[in-house]
Every structure is written in C-alpha cells, then in structure tokens.
Amino acid sequence: MSRYVFDTGIVLGMLRGSSYAKHVLNTYEPFSAPNLAIQSVVTIAELEAFGFRRQWGESKCAKLRELVRKIPQQDINHPNIVRHYVEIDAYRHNGHPVKSLPQGTSAFSMGDNDLWIAATAAALGAVLLTTDKDFLRLNDVFLKVVYVDPK
C-alpha cells in the first residue's frame, strides 16, 4: 500500500484533465486499493483562492467541489503535522539541530502553504506528488517527493 499526498498543482491538473494528471493516475494509481490518495486542507484553500481570484463561474467551482470531495482530506490540526512543520521550517532556515542543509547550500525560501503540505505528507508517511520543484529540497530528508513535470 502506498499513501500519496497531492500538492495543489496535481489536483489542479486533475480538475483540468491535464496529461500530467492522467500520468499520475495511470502510473501511481492513487485511487486504486490498497493505495490511498490524500489532500491537505491547505490544498483545498489554495484551489478555492485560485478560483476566486480568477472569478471562476459556478460550473467550474462546482466541478472543483466535486473533485475535492472525492479525495480524503487531512486538516493541519494534528500534533505530528505541526511537529513536522516546525522541523521543516527550521531545516529550510538551516537552523535544524540535527538535519543540516547539504554542504554549500544556503537557507531557502518556501511558502508557508507548501510547508503545511510537505508536513502533512511527512507526518502521514506519504509520498508527496507535486508539480513544484521547491519540494525536491526535502526529498529523502523528511519525506519522499515525486516531481511530476506539468509540461
């Protein structure tokens, strides 16, 4: 069994019916038992905000709501998620007491929403499926990251 956490770009690709989202579905089979697909509540908020800013009509908003209802949701009110958020945040600032950035690497910027999504995957022991290369800096440090090229 594999657990997969989708980042916002993956869910957006599913909404749009993109070829990279189809690749994810065919390659990783996240909705086929015994695998489990999960999304962070942060992903849902990002998608809702994206649609609001772009003034999606009711039809597209309804399609989004239908899609996110099909994917189990994990909120951030979970002690392990909070702990992982704290550790990943310290790591990106090169202030983690045990895990240092690779030699020659300096602190890096990462959005707080991305930190919550990564912390969710790390806490759940899930693979993060993403279209965002920023997550790759966390691969094999806190979680397994699979980058999916949206092109």
Mean pLDDT, the chain cut into blocks of 10 residues (151 residues total): 96 96 97 96 96 94 94 92 97 95 91 97 98 96 97 90
The number of folded domains in the chain is 1
Task: Give the pLDDT score at 9.
Answer: 97
What CA–CA distance (Å, rounded) separates 35 from 37?
A: 7
Task: Give the pLDDT score at 62.
Answer: 94
**CATH code for the domain of 131:** 3.40.50.1010
Full domain range(s) for residue 26: 3-147
The pairing of beta strand 73-74 with beta strand 127-130: unpaired
Task: Give the pLDDT score at 52.
Answer: 95
Both tokens assigned to 61: 């908003």
CB contact at 8 A, 145 and 17: no
CB contact at 8 A, 111 and 119: no
Strand partners, 40: 74
Task: Give the pLDDT score at 58.
Answer: 93
Task: Give the pLDDT score at 78.
Answer: 87
The pairing of beta strand 144-147 with beta strand 73-74: unpaired
What CA–CA distance (Å, rounded) separates 43 from 102?
A: 29
Residue 125's alpha-carbon distances to 3, 134, 145, in angstroms, are: 7, 19, 11
Sign of CA dihedral 17, 132, 75, 45: negative
DSSP code for 101: P
CB contact at 8 A, 143 and 38: no
DSSP code for 78: S
